[in-house]
Structure 1
């Protein structure tokens, strides 16, 4: 298990993830980051104009991926936040 962090950029400001999460692989951490992005996108109070981005980094601080929070999914919508 390795620790991965998911800091968030929202309105141009970095919100650090000081705790992180343990995952067996980088792929699982990437999936988690995508789920966080979807959850934020589905929040009716989320400001779509905020330019929110979930960043997934490993314990050494190397960026693995980014997920942009782009829109709120509608009922029955198969799309995902990226």
Structure 2
């Protein structure tokens, strides 16, 4: 298992993930990042103009994936 982190870029600021989560593969971590982005998009109070992006990075800081938060139902 490896630790992956999910920092979120929102309204021009990076919100760091100091804890991260353990996953058996980078693909599973990327899927989790996509799920986080969908969860944010489904929040009725979310400002869709904020340009939010969920990043997936490994313990060395290498970017594995990025998921732009979009309106629920959009690609």
- TM-score band by shorter chain is over 0.9
**Structure with max Cα Rg:** 1
Query: Pairwise CA RMSD of aligned residues?
Result: 1.0
| Structure 2 segments unaligned to the other structure (5+ residues) | none
Question: Normalising by structure 2, what TM-score?
Answer: 0.96
Runs of 4+ aligned structure 1 residues displaced above 6 Å come to none
Q: Which runs of 5+ in 1 are unaligned?
A: 74-78
**1:63-74 → structure 2 map (5 Å cutoff):** 63-73=63-73
Using CA pairs under 8 Å that are at least 6 residues apart, name the structure with larger relative contact order, 1 or 2: 2
**Number of residue pairs matched?**
75
